[in-house]
Amino acid sequence: MTDKRAAAQDIPETAGAPREGPAARWNRNFRLFFVARTVAVLGDGMVPVALAAGLLGAGRPGSSVGYALAAWIGPFAVLVLFGSVLADRFTPRRMMILADGLRLVGASVLALSFAAGDPSVWVVYGLSAVSGVGAALFQPGVASTVPRIAHDVQRANAVLRVCEALMTMAGPAFAGLVVGVSGGAGAVFAANAATFAVSGVCLFLLRLPPAGEPVERGSLLAELVDGWREFTSRSWLWGVIAIWTVYGLTVAGPMLPLTAVLVTEAHGSGTYGVLMAVNGAGSVAGGLLAMRLRPARPLAAGAVALLGVVVNLLVFGLDLSVTALGAGQFAGGAAFAFWLVMWSTTVQTHVPPDALNRLHAYDVSGSLLMMAAGRALAGPVAEAVGAERVLLAGVVVMLGVIGVLLGARPIRELRRVG
The pLDDT value given to residue 104: 93
Confidence of residue 282 (pLDDT cuts 50, 70, 90): very high
Residue at 44 is within a domain: yes
* Residue 336, pLDDT above cutoff 50: yes
Average pLDDT over residues 397-407: 95
Query: How far from chain centre, in Å, is Cα 145?
Result: 15
Residues 83, 189: one domain? yes
Q: What is the CATH number of the domain that holds 334?
A: 1.20.1250.20
Residue at 418 is within a domain: no
Residues 178, 67: one domain? yes
Confidence of residue 296 (pLDDT cuts 50, 70, 90): very high
Residues 175, 206: one domain? yes
Q: How many domains does the chain have?
A: 2
Residues 107, 250: one domain? no
User: What pTM value is reported for the model?
Assistant: 0.76
The pLDDT value given to residue 14: 37
Residue at 128 is within a domain: yes
* Residue 172, pLDDT above cutoff 70: yes
* CA pair distance 374, 242, nearest whole angstrom: 15
Neighbours of 180 (CB within 10 A): 9
* CA pair distance 323, 314, nearest whole angstrom: 14
Residues 116, 260: one domain? no
Residue at 296 is within a domain: yes
Residues 118, 245: one domain? no
Average pLDDT over residues 55-72: 76
- For residue 275, give the nearest of 141, 169, 146, 375 by alpha carbon: 169
Confidence of residue 4 (pLDDT cuts 50, 70, 90): very low
* Residue 123, pLDDT above cutoff 80: yes
Q: Which of 155-159, 319-323, 371-375 has the lowest mean pLDDT?
A: 371-375
Residue at 417 is within a domain: no
The pLDDT value given to residue 15: 35
Confidence of residue 213 (pLDDT cuts 50, 70, 90): low
Residue at 14 is within a domain: yes
Question: Which of 114 and 15 is assigned the larger pLDDT?
Answer: 114
Residues 175, 100: one domain? yes
Contact yes or no for 237/359 (Cβ under 8 A): yes
Residues 408, 262: one domain? yes
Confidence of residue 1 (pLDDT cuts 50, 70, 90): very low
Residue at 176 is within a domain: yes
The pLDDT value given to residue 24: 56
Q: Give the pLDDT confidence of 67-105 residue by residue, as tens digits.
A: 787 788 778 877 887 777 787 777 888 889 999 999 999
- For residue 73, give the nearest of 326, 283, 299, 374 by alpha carbon: 374
To the nearest whole number, what is the mean pLDDT of the chain? Answer: 82
* Residue 368, pLDDT above cutoff 50: yes
Residues 294, 200: one domain? no
Which of 147, 182, 214 lies at the terminal end of a domain, its last residue?
214
The pLDDT value given to residue 22: 56
Residues 196, 280: one domain? no
Q: Give the pLDDT confidence of 221-266 residue by residue, as tens digits.
A: 666 677 677 777 888 988 998 898 899 888 988 887 788 778 877 8
Confidence of residue 316 (pLDDT cuts 50, 70, 90): very high
Neighbours of 155 (CB within 10 A): 21
Which of 194, 214, 234 lies at the terminal end of a domain, its last residue?
214
Torsion angle in degrees (nearest 10) through CA of 8, 11, 15, 17 = -110
Neighbours of 134 (CB within 10 A): 28
Residues 91, 187: one domain? yes
Average pLDDT over residues 188-215: 83
Which of 214, 238, 268 lies at the terminal end of a domain, its last residue?
214
The pLDDT value given to residue 409: 93
Average pLDDT over residues 26-37: 89
Residues 311, 176: one domain? no
Contact yes or no for 366/241 (Cβ under 8 A): yes
Residue at 319 is within a domain: yes
- What is the residue range of 391's domain? 225-412
The pLDDT value given to residue 269: 65
The pLDDT value given to residue 23: 52
* Residue 210, SS3 per DSSP: coil
Q: Give the pLDDT confidence of 134-170 residue by residue, as tens digits.
A: 888 888 888 788 888 888 888 888 888 888 888 888 8
Question: What's the DSSP call for residue 415?
Answer: P
